[in-house]
Amino acid sequence: MKLYPLFADLSHRAVLVVGGGAVAERKIAGLLGAQAQVTVNAPTLTPQLQRWAAEGRIAHRRDAFQESWLDRVWLVVAATSDVELNQVIATFAGLRRIFVNVVDDAALSSFHVPAVVDRAPLTIAISSGGEAPMLARLLRERLETLLDHSLGALATLAARLRRRIRLRHPDLAARRRFYESLFTGPVATLLRQGRPEEARQAAEQALATVSAASTGSVVLVGAGPGDPGLLTLRALRALNEADVILHDRLVSAEVLDLARRDAERIEVGKQAGHHHTTQDGIHALLLQHARAGRRIVRLKGGDPFVFGRGGEELEFLRDHGIPYEVVPGITAAVACAAYAGVPLTHRDHAQSVRFVTAHCQSSRDTLDWAALAQERQTLAVYMGVAELGELRARLIERGREPSTPFALIENGSRPEQRVITGTLANLAERAAFHAVRSPALLILGEVAALAASLAWFGSPPLGATVHEIPVPSVARPVRADILAAVHRA
């Protein structure tokens, strides 16, 4: 975040604006709306500024700018066409640690005036840090059409009731639920219909109603592979309603940033050999917070029902009478393949796709390797980075061609995504050469070869180079056709 957002209380505080043209007029209009005491320094003024000066709404100084005028001001706006004068004003203001805005010069400015959506007392400010002001204005125009003007009256009503609401609902979770019903229920509807007195009465009635203590609930949410843009709208809504978020290690920081700021975040990540929180521990946390009446989001990378143990957690919640719902996510195989330009099925190459996990001995021993080795199908292998050598050996033993293409996708859908391509014969060596680390997903099958031509996101795929000499390490005598495939790769 380049700039720290804040809202300044300028009521009855001195502000100096240097410049008397149309740009200065726009800045002064906003300052007067905030009830600032504005002094304008300019030899001439626009007609509107002249009227405001005649009415006593602003003070006017015609002589040249003087440093002493900064003695008691809180903010300075330099809105002149004189570049050197703007530089002088910015320098003096900086020496005095006074925030200054130099119009159309982001480098000289220590604060920026945002595009504003005004639903007083509710205010929405949009800033591009001075880099793209027209984009900020475009966003403001869009928000103006989305946000009803009754929001200001709703905010005012909530402010009048705030102290009573806190006394009536000392528990934060219960208070939040009351506010949400106030902002989205009949009270808000009445205000939109222009019936403020009836809205006030409805709010008073809701405040007087005794609500029984309720059991909390759990929403099992799929966070997708990492790109926050892949979250569903329902997932975003759940994150903004949650009191507690239990999240996996691989849930990206960008996704967590979309959650409500005051929600409690608890990492319950598990990875091979390092179980920070056991599954029983996760169950205990779900039960503890639900019985305390909290709304919980159990946030899982990818989709909770694809190698996410979501079914086990729902069984636990059902057995303990905890209400739950599921918000699916885009599973890693679908997302990573799409971001690597690899179609999981293709009329010419693959008529089926299998999702496989092979991260431990027990899971490997239960797989039907003969079926997995069949051609014209795609294998999407989760959590298999540490077992690529054994995976290759078992597939080749069951008849999968060593020349079968693969695409190994690390950090799929994230800015740091890497795609490593090759053939089954050199899979483990290529992964080791590029130091592939979890999270990574393996796509094996004829479709993987399309990554070279269909890639669209991030860096181009890393194909084999003449500097790499992969040597297969399969757990059986190496056949001549394997060696030939290795040299061809």
Model-level pTM greater than 0.85? no
Can you tell me the mean pLDDT for 405-409? 97
Burial class of residue 129 in the structure, from the number of CB atoms within 10 Å of its CB (0-12 exposed, 13-18 middle, 19+ buried): middle
**Is the pLDDT reported for residue 276 higher than 80?**
no
Q: Which two tokens stand for residue 75?
A: 């903010």
78 or 192: which leads in pLDDT: 78
Type of residue numbered 124: I
Task: Give the sign of the dihedral formed by CA 404, CA 410, CA 411, CA 414.
Answer: negative
Element (DSSP H or E) covering residue 351: none
Q: Where are the alpha helices (DSSP H) in 47-102?
A: 47-54, 83-95
Identify the pLDDT of residue 408.
Answer: 97
Identify the pLDDT of residue 370.
Answer: 92
**Is the pLDDT reported for residue 189 higher than 60?**
yes
**Is the pLDDT reported for residue 257 higher than 80?**
yes
Identify the pLDDT of residue 474.
Answer: 43
Identify the pLDDT of residue 132.
Answer: 87
CB atoms within 10 A of CB 340: 27
Burial class of residue 388 in the structure, from the number of CB atoms within 10 Å of its CB (0-12 exposed, 13-18 middle, 19+ buried): buried
What span, in angstroms and rounded, lies between the C-alpha atoms of 189 and 29?
A: 32
Q: Per the residue annotation, which of 248, 262, 365, 368 is the catalytic one?
A: 248
Q: Which two tokens stand for residue 111?
A: 């604060």
For residue 251, how many C-alpha atoms fall within 13 Å in the half-sphere facing its CB? 29
Task: Give the sign of the dihedral formed by CA 250, CA 253, CA 255, CA 256.
Answer: positive
Neighbouring-strand partners of residue 423? 405
What span, in angstroms and rounded, lies between the C-alpha atoms of 247 and 178?
A: 26
Can you tell me the mean pLDDT for 117-126? 91
Can you tell me the mean pLDDT for 121-127? 92
Identify the pLDDT of residue 464.
Answer: 62
Q: Is 38 in a helix, a strand, or coil?
A: strand
Identify the pLDDT of residue 467.
Answer: 52
In which residue are the tokens 């014209």 written? 376
Indicate the pairing of strand 270-271 with strand 274-275. antiparallel
Identify the pLDDT of residue 482.
Answer: 42
Q: What is the pLDDT confidence band of residue 212, given thresholds at 50, 70 and 90?
A: low
Q: Are 381 and 416 in contact (CB under 8 A)?
A: no
For residue 467, how many C-alpha atoms fall within 13 Å in the half-sphere facing its CB? 4
Element (DSSP H or E) covering residue 27: helix 22-33
Q: Is 477 in a helix, a strand, or coil?
A: coil
> CA triplet 77, 34, 120: central angle to 5 degrees?
135
Q: Are 358 and 266 in contact (CB under 8 A)?
A: no
Identify the pLDDT of residue 269.
Answer: 76
What span, in angstroms and rounded, lies between the C-alpha atoms of 164 and 342?
A: 58
Can you tell me the mean pLDDT for 188-198? 92
Q: Percent of the chain beyond pLDDT 90?
A: 71
Residue 227 is among the residues annotated as catalytic for this protein: no
> Which DSSP string corresponds to 231-300?
S-HHHHHHHHH-SEEEE-TTS-HHHHTTS-TTSEEEE--EETTEESS-HHHHHHHHHHHHHTT-EEEEEE
| Predicted confidence (pLDDT) per residue in 283-336, tens digit | 999 999 999 888 999 999 999 999 989 999 999 999 999 999 999 999 999 999
Q: If we measure between CA atoms, which residue out of 329, 338, 307 comes closest to residue 413?
A: 338
Q: Which of 16-20, 383-387, 415-419 has the lowest mean pLDDT?
A: 383-387
**Is the pLDDT reported for residue 221 higher than 50?**
yes
Identify the pLDDT of residue 475.
Answer: 42
**Is the pLDDT reported for residue 146 higher than 80?**
yes
Identify the pLDDT of residue 130.
Answer: 80
**Is the pLDDT reported for residue 339 higher than 90?**
yes
Type of residue numbered 105: D
Q: Which of 355-364, 428-437, 476-485 has the lowest mean pLDDT?
A: 476-485
**Is the pLDDT reported for residue 472 higher than 50?**
no
417 or 468: which leads in pLDDT: 417
Identify the pLDDT of residue 171.
Answer: 82
What span, in angstroms and rounded, lies between the C-alpha atoms of 427 and 442?
A: 10
Identify the pLDDT of residue 43.
Answer: 94
Q: If we measure between CA atoms, which residue out of 123, 178, 131 comes closest to residue 156?
A: 123
Biggest CA-to-CA distance, the chain: 98
In which residue are the tokens 């597939």 written? 395
**Is the pLDDT reported for residue 237 higher than 50?**
yes
Identify the pLDDT of residue 486.
Answer: 42
**Is the pLDDT reported for residue 270 higher than 70?**
no
What span, in angstroms and rounded, lies between the C-alpha atoms of 108 and 131?
A: 13
Identify the pLDDT of residue 108.
Answer: 93
Identify the pLDDT of residue 177.
Answer: 84
111 or 210: which leads in pLDDT: 111
Q: Percent of the chain beyond pLDDT 70?
A: 91
Burial class of residue 232 in the structure, from the number of CB atoms within 10 Å of its CB (0-12 exposed, 13-18 middle, 19+ buried): middle
Residue 270 is among the residues annotated as catalytic for this protein: yes
> CA triplet 342, 465, 423: central angle to 5 degrees?
45
Indicate the pairing of strand 418-423 with strand 405-410. antiparallel
What span, in angstroms and rounded, lies between the C-alpha atoms of 489 and 486?
A: 5
Identify the pLDDT of residue 477.
Answer: 39
